[in-house]
Structures are given as structure tokens and as C-alpha cells.
Amino acid sequence: MQPSAPRPRIVPSVLPADFSRLGDECRALEQAGVDRIQWDVMDGLFVPNITMGPDVIASVRPLVSVEFEAHLMVEEPDRLLSRWVDAGCGLVIVHAEACRHLHRTLAAVRGLGARAGVAVNPATPLCAVEHVLDLVDLLLVMTVNPGFGGQEYLASMEPKIAEARDLIARSGRQIELEVDGGIGRGTIAGAARAGATTFCAGSALFRERARLAEEVAELRRLAAEAAAEAVRVMDGTCREEDAA
Ligand code: DX5
């Protein structure tokens, strides 16, 4: 009997937000019932875009209580690790491709008292992270090439999401499986069916500003439905195998 799927987590990316009133935007997200807020940190080197520094995040921290995650799309993330934690991020996600010593970097994040996450770009195989699962609380499978919001979801990543789900199951550890990029009503079910438990969405949420809480609830419902269906299918397969 397969364990039932966890309640899906909906995590907005603030990249499409109105940066001239970030505090209000984050309050609206919190009131809409999101599980965390993702800050897309880009340095213009790891990705061809530049977004925000730790002081921007710190300025919003006192305005809301929802947890912050810093998604570091930067080269050499070790250089400023403590700054994101000091700015109020309870979860710091580094890219495997940006870390020369990934094991040391993840241990350093945990050493700062934060939870640690590792992200992989679409082209990066999961074998790049399989030996550091003991150091992570979250694995992020990118479903777009990082750097911009509003891109098309890569359904070709679903087999990799399923591989990540199985890798985590074999490790026996409590590790969230997050996806990020192109997530919305038309794509979230595919990612949930493949095993994702946490869904980062930017444009799909911000284009529904007027009815944010409804959109968050709808994305969560679609993900839960797809995950439950996947569990039923896996159970059916198990029963057939048992009967054979
Ligand atoms: C892209 C970022 C994503 C992006 C998501 O590099 O990591 O978080 O902002 O935006 P959408 O949901 O619009 O693809």
C-alpha cells in the first residue's frame, strides 16, 4: 500500500511582482494562504539576469511571517550564504552547477541554522546530487532553464521528477521535491503525478492578483488530485504484481 501523498505546497516566486511595492505584494500572498515565498536571486553570471540582494529581502521580512526561501541562481554561493539567512530566509537553495564543493556548501547552510536545498537545471542529471541527500531538506528540479519568469514548462522533465521521487524514497529521508518554472493550471498535474510535492509558480499567480486565494487553492486542488490518482495507479500496479 503506497503512503498517501502529502498536502501540496504552493510557493509563489516574487519575480513577476511589482517591485515598487514588494511589501504589499508579499502581504497579499500571505493572505492568499501560500506555504512559503520564493526569492529568485540572480547575479547576471549564473543566469543572464539580475534581480535582488539580501537587503531587499530583509526589508520585507518584518512585514509578513510566512517562511522565505532564497533560490540562489548565483555563481559561488558560498561567498554570501549567511547574508540570506540574516535577511530572514529559513531555506536556502543553491544550484549544484554553481558549487565546486556542494557537500561543503550544503553543510554550511545547515551550519547557519537554515534548511538546505539543492537545485538542478534541466540538463543536469540527478547523479550530481545523489551523494548529498543526507544534507538536504529539499530537492528542486527546474522545469525551465533558469533566469526568467513566464517561460514554457518543460514536460520532458517529468521522467526526471519521477526519478527524483524514487531517489528520495530510497534514501528514506524527509526531503521535499520542488519544481519551478512554467507551473500553472495546465501543467501542475503532470508534475504532481510524477511525484513533486512543492510547486513554485510566478506568472500563473501574479496574473490572477485579483483572485489570488482562489488561484492558490485551485493549484493546490489540482496537484492533490493528480498525486492521489498517481498513488491509486501505483497501488493498482502493486496489487496486480502481488496477484501475479
Ligand atoms: C526562473 C525562476 C522561477 C520563475 C517562475 O529562473 O527560478 O521561479 O520566476 O516563474 P514562472 O512560474 O512564471 O515560470
pLDDT digits (tens, 9 = 90+) for 230-240: 988 888 877 77
Cα 92 to Cα 114: distance, rounded to the nearest angstrom: 7
For the record, the C-alpha cell of 114 comes out as: 537554515
| Local confidence band at 1 (pLDDT 50, 70, 90 cut-offs) | low
Report which residue type is found at 113: G
pLDDT tens-digit profile of 53-86?
Answer: 999 999 999 999 999 999 999 999 999 999 999 9
Rg of the chain over all Cα atoms, to the nearest angstrom: 17
Cα 116 to Cα 114: distance, rounded to the nearest angstrom: 6
With a pLDDT cut of 70, the percent of the chain lying above it is 98
| Other beta carbons within 10 Å of 163 | 16
Residues with CB under 6 A from ligand 1: 13, 15, 38, 40, 71, 144, 146-147, 149-151, 180-183, 200-204
Strands 138-142 and 89-95: unpaired
Q: Which residue in 43, 78, 134, 180 is the catalytic one? A: 180
Query: 225-243 b/e with 16+ CB inside 10 Å = b?
Result: bbbeebeeeeeeeeeeeee
**Residues 5/227, Cβ–Cβ less than 8 Å:** yes
Q: What's the angle, vertex CA 28, arms to CA 27 and CA 29, rounded to 5?
A: 90
Give pTM, 2 decimals: 0.96
Is-catalytic flag, 86? no
Is-catalytic flag, 40? yes
